[in-house]
Structure formats: C-alpha cells, structure tokens
Amino acid sequence: MKEYFPKHTFQNTTSLLNPVFGLQESQALSYIVLDKVFNISKTAIIVNDPFIPDTFQLKNYESIVQRLLKNEPIQYIFKEAEFYGNTFYVDKNVLIPRQETELLIQIISSFKNWEKPKMADIGTGSGCIACSLALSIADSQIVGYDVSPEALQIAQHNASKLNAHAVFSPLDILEDEIPHIELDLVVSNPPYVMDQEKQQMKKNVLDFEPPLALFVADENPLIFYKTIMEKAKKALKRGGVLFFEINEQFGKETLLLFQHYGYSEPKIYKDIHDKQRFASAIWE
C-alpha cells in the first residue's frame, strides 16, 4: 500500500480547491477534509508522519473534493454545522446556521434577567436558535415553528441530540396564528433576501440551500416582519419582547414598522461585521 504524507496531502488538497475558494478558505476546508476523512489533525500535518489510507478513504476523499469544487457546502457534505459551541445536524432541507446569528443568542440571553421564560421561534429551520436559547437560558420553555415538515424533524433531532428542552410544531406564519399566549419572547430569523439580490449571492447558497427559507418577493420584502409583528401582539404578554434577524437594508423600515404596530423601545443591533443585523421591541 502506498504511503501518504499529511503535509503533502494538505498542500495538494489546498491546491485543488484554491482556484474556486482562494487560499485562506481552501486551507480551512482542507483541514476539515483531512480530519474527517483520514483523522489527520493540524498537529499531525506539522509532525508529518506517513499514513496509509484504505481504498474507501481515498474514494471518499476524491468524492468530497469534487463536491466542494461544484460549490456544495461542506456542512451539507458532512451533515453538520457548528453554532454557538454546539454541532447541529444539517442537510439541504434547512439553512446552514450562520456565525453572525450566534450574536443573537448572546443579545437575547443578556437582554434581561429571564425567569422561566416562555419563548417561540418562528421559522426554526435546524432549530439552532431554539436549541441554543434553551441551553443558554435556565428553566426556559421554547417551541420552534416551521412550515417545513423536514425542517421540524431535523430540529427535533438536534434538540434530542443536544439535550435541549425545546419542542417543535408545524406553523405557516403567513396563514396561521401563533398558538400560544403569554409568551415572554418571540424570535424569528425569517426569509428576508429579495429576489433581486440573488445575482449577488454565491453559488454554494443559490444552488444548495432551500429557497423557501431565504427569499421574499421584491414587491413585499418585509411581509414576514409585518405578519409576525401583528400576530405576536396576541401571543406576547405585556412586557414581552420581539426579536428579529433582519436584512441590513431595512433597519430603519423595521423600526418604523415596530412603531406602526404599537411596539415600544425599538432597537437595532449590529453584527460582527458592523452591519445592521438584529432588531427588537417590547409589547407594552
């Protein structure tokens, strides 16, 4: 059997990926591929002791590299994504959790001194927000809603795997009312990318992530925000808070909508890239 050297394998993988991803991202992807396929760590690459892969490993490696070169997200290839210190199962039925969204968990967790809060996550997808809040806020009760049956199965799987006390239920927020009252928090990261923005997006998003969870019509880009603001008024208790992830283009419009629907203390929060990313308001 042929011997392989970790350093050369890493360099070769990076070289293959570099034309598509650039050097920095290619190196990051190569570290993951070598670790997952050959169990080669960054330390092993430095030490560079030879290894002998089996036929299955080599075929798997070649397949993964080809899939990456076709822009398939590595999270879908390995069926996992890191979010807020935990590993979530993901596949093509749910959006890949974004690093930027982790800040939303921090903001909500420190927003007030929560005492056994009742919470709802509208459009839960993989359940990353619901599960992370359940794990971060003691004695919380949270239900995640989604229109997709496949997403709900994935979210429930993630909750069980992480031992997060969250439950999940079907809901089409554009058609149905939120079936709870006296909630302390409603949070949503709804579809907010306009159809006209598709041309600016990368192929790994456009070709692989579920469009139902991403896009809204150009003529009504804030439809989910308007709908949730209206329906959350019946679901929230007085003093309850509504949180959104938003399209950075519509920060001002979101604040005006909060006021239009009777919420108080509307606020915008910026993400790690200094973009307007989250919004909150209180139902008094």
Q: Which tens digit of pLDDT belongs to each residue from 99-130? A: 999 999 999 999 999 999 999 999 999 999 99
CB-CB contact of 6 with 49 (8 Å): yes
Torsion of CA 192, 194, 26, 12, to 10 degrees: 130
Convert the pLDDT of each residue in 34-75 to its tens digit: 999 999 999 999 999 999 999 999 999 999 999 999 999 999
Rounded alpha-carbon distances, angstroms, from residue 1 to 41, 51, 64, 190, 267: 22, 10, 22, 52, 62
Measured between its terminal Cα atoms, the distance across the chain in Å is 71
How far is Cα 19 from Cα 250, in angstroms, rounded to an integer? 35
The pLDDT score that the predictor gives to residue 214 is 74
Q: What pTM value is reported for the model?
A: 0.93
Tokens 């879908």 belong to residue: 76
Coil, strand, or helix at residue 44?
helix
Cβ neighbours, 10 Å, residue 160: 11
